[in-house]
Structure 1
Amino acid sequence: MPANPSPLAAPTAEDHRAWYHVQSAALAHDRPGEPVPSQAAVRAGLTTTGSRRQLVLWLLRGSGDEPVATAVLRLSGTAADGSGTDGPADVQMTVHPAHRRLGTGSRLLATVTEAATAAGCASLAAEAVSGTPGEGFLATRDFVPVTRLTWQRLALDDIPDPVGKLPDVPHPGYRLTAWEGAVPDTLTDGFLGALRALPTPAAGLDTGGCRWDPAAVHEAAELAARRGDRLLTVAALHDGGDVAGYTTVLLPGDGARRAQQHDTAVVPAHRGHGLGLWMKAEMLRRLPAVQPDLAEIHTCVPDDNRHLLAVNTSLGFRPLRRTVRFRLRLRRR
């Protein structure tokens, strides 16, 4: 591997195949028993981004030209002209299992960190599975753990029978609604209010810097559509017209039978009424009609969100794995 590998400027079809070779081998090794995303889904994630996010890619090859490692640096809040950002950056690095413990990861991380620093980023985030060498790798390189996450799986055949009746339970002062894709124009202001009231940025909507405005909300839905996926949202509306909460699921467009549960959130002023469980139960009732071949849902929840963990458990979600979110503060130039 070169001491300072260069970013992948214009990925070819062969580059995407090589990238998938590394990704699929690593996922099969690190997460045995879990489904591996299709090559089409991996490629869509690399080639389809919003205007508020820039991706920088590295594909490293060995002496025999075999692909050995990949890295994607996500720069949030990047200007449309490609200029730098002072926001956070995120890195996902993958080393093929057959090429680990040879120094490739260390040199690749140094290159990515230098690129993030040069772009003016304030920090660099990364995630590793708990209890694996990846966790120790980041911890010994000045990354600080900031969030611990529990990933969960729900097999749709294992949903407890009582869950199917929950959407019909009255919640005085509230009603449920749903939409696919972009939020309806009549609900945009209320949906923005719900997003802005949340203590942390929404995890599921890819808008880069998460500066919520109507354009950002609509672009998030358009981005999913361009990748061939479908974004389904169920929301609870207050009698006064406010969006009191919402839950969102990303339905795969590549034939995969696994959906991704994204955000579930209730505005602080409307908590304590069981809206989270109500909305998620309604989502589960709708999914078979929306995508009949769907078999399971995956999601992740911060360990300190005990309420949402309890809600998911009552719906039938079971632990899949645990990860740690790290952050490295970068030196300003």
Structure 2
Amino acid sequence: MPANPSPLTAPTAEDIRAWYRVQSAALAHDRPGEPVPSQAAVRAGLTTTGPRRRRLVLWLLRGSGDEPVATALLRLHGATAAGGHADIQMTVHPAHRRLGTGSRLLATVTEAATAAGCGTLTAEAVAGTPGEGFLATRDFVPFARMTWQRLPLDDIPAPVGKLPDVPHPGYRLTGWEGAAPETLADGFLDALRALPAPAAGPDAADTRWDPAAVHETAELAARRGDRLLTVAALHDDDGIAGYTTVLLPGDGTRRAQQYDTAVVPAHRGNGLGLWMKAEMLRRLPAAQPDLAEIHTRVPDDNRHLLAVNTALGFRPLHRTVRFRLRLRVRR
């Protein structure tokens, strides 16, 4: 069993390589046949942060032979006032599971989150893996189930290519890269706030959306070498009616990530989600010609978006469960 966990305050190049070995081994074991993120993407995720989402601490555990055994990342969301929220990503190398390493690491991370004044801690595990049972037996309560999906761009059904040309009276499509143009910023904020809580994703949980947060999201992607591409539906009299955003990778991988898709409540029921996402698929080859596929995740209770994605050609990869742990706030 490794020594007591200690914080990783300034990751070196060797630390990042060791972190990547744990992550890639766990992904290959828990999600066989699925692509593993590049080491460059892992490095960017560990070393590039924004002021509103500062990373509290990282842990990298090594065994007696200095081999990497486990990793943990604790991320605060928004302010650090008592009752705040934190998200944990914890991974144990498959060869070192069921030896007490995960329990010891979780106790350390939970203590750190409590000391920071967090009232809740969330985590995610692949359904049907030991990680799901690990969290369920340690007072974590499931609150959302997600389906992860994949769409090879060569497999897009032919009729999808014609969908952007279908008239939607009173609406038109537009798009941009990075932060929303100033003329559309207020409407974009309204659309962001229309997102259901689980669909916002771990990086957006409990975030107060305002202009600074929107610009920071785009700037953070740029600092990591990635690009945000957005397609929006504009209403003649009411500004932005909805939007969909995709993250284009800057690390040489050929896999884009579908981020949020939202339609303002007053404009739902008009087929805008399918319309916008079909237009996004049309634009992707020109935006990044070497892309091969796009991945996304959808809450299982969002039946409408699941149906939209199925119509576009997305197919399931795996399912995950999001858990929440209530922490005892220190006074």
Q: Does TM, normalized by the shorter one, top 0.5? A: yes
Tell me the distance in 2 between the aligned counterparts of 1:25 and 1:312. Answer: 30
The aligned residue for residue 37 of structure 1 is 37
Deviations 1:132-162 (A, max 9, x none): 1111110000000000100000011111000
1:86 and 1:54 mapped to 2: Cα distance?
17
Superimposed CA distance per residue, residues 277-299 of structure 1 (whole angstroms, 9 cap, x where no aligned partner): 00000000000111111111110
1:273 alignment partner, SS class: coil
Q: 1:308 to 1:233 in 2, by over 3 A?
A: same
TM-superposed CA distance for 1:200, in Å, is 2.2
Could you list the per-position Cα deviations for residues 188-244 of structure 1 after superposition, in whole angstroms to 9, with x for gaps in the alignment?
011111122334276259467411111110110000000000100000011014211
% identical aligned pairs: 85
Query: Of 290, 294, 298, which aligns to 2:295?
Result: 298
Name 1:50's counterpart in structure 2. 50
**Residue of structure 2 equivalent to 1:168:** 165
> Is there any run of 5+ residues in structure 2 with no aligned partner, and where?
none
Q: Which residue of 1 aligns with 2:326?
A: 329
TM-score, normalised by the number of residues in structure 1: 0.95
How do 1:99-138 residues align onto structure 2 when only pairs under 5 Å count?
99-138=96-135
Matched residue of 1:52: which SS? Answer: helix
Distance 1:315 1:237, change over 3 A: same
Residue from 145, 152, 162 that aligns with 1:155 = 152
**Letter matched to residue 72 of structure 1:** L
C-alpha displacement at 1:170, in angstroms? Answer: 0.4
Matched-pair contact (CA < 8 Å) for 2:113–2:121: yes
Structure-2 residue corresponding to 1:9: 9
* 1:296-323 deviation digits (Å, cap 9, x = unpaired): 1110000000000000000000010011
AA at the equivalent of 1:240: D
Name the CA shift for 1:200/1:42 in 2 (closer, same or farther; >3 Å).
Answer: same
After superposition, the Cα gap between the structure-2 partners of 1:19 and 1:85, relative to the gap in structure 1 and judged at 3 Å, is farther
Mapping of 1:1-333 within 5 angstroms? 1=1, 4-55=4-55, 56-78=57-79, 86-200=83-197, 203=200, 206=203, 209-333=206-330
Distance 1:271 1:196 in 2: 14
Instruction: After superposition, give the CA deviation of every residue in 1:241-274 in whole Å (9 maximum; x if it has no partner).
Output: 4211000000100110111001011011100000
Give, in angstroms, the shift of residue 21 of structure 1: 1.1
CA contact under 8 A between 1:52 and 1:207: conserved in structure 2? no
The alpha-carbon deviation at position 327 of structure 1 amounts to: 0.4
Cα distance in 2, alignment partners of residues 87 and 112 from structure 1: 15
Whole-Å separation in 2 of the counterparts to 1:197 and 1:265: 6
Q: Secondary structure at the match of 1:122?
A: strand
* Alpha-carbon separation, structure 2, partners of 1:318 and 1:198: 23
How far apart in 2 are the matches of 1:317 and 1:8? 38
Contact 2:117 2:329 in 1 (8 A): yes
RMSD between superposed Cα atoms in Å: 1.5
2:118 aligned counterpart, secondary structure = coil
CA deviation digits over 1:18-41, x for unaligned, max 9? Answer: 111111111111111111111110
How far apart are the structure 2 equivalents of 1:296 and 1:127? 24
Q: What is the Cα deviation at residue 86 of structure 1?
A: 3.0
For residues 104 and 322 of structure 2, the distance between their equivalents in structure 1, rounded to whole angstroms, comes to 21
- SS of 1:255 mapped into structure 2: coil
* Unmatched segments (≥5 aa) in structure 1: none
Question: What TM-score, normalized to structure 2?
Answer: 0.96
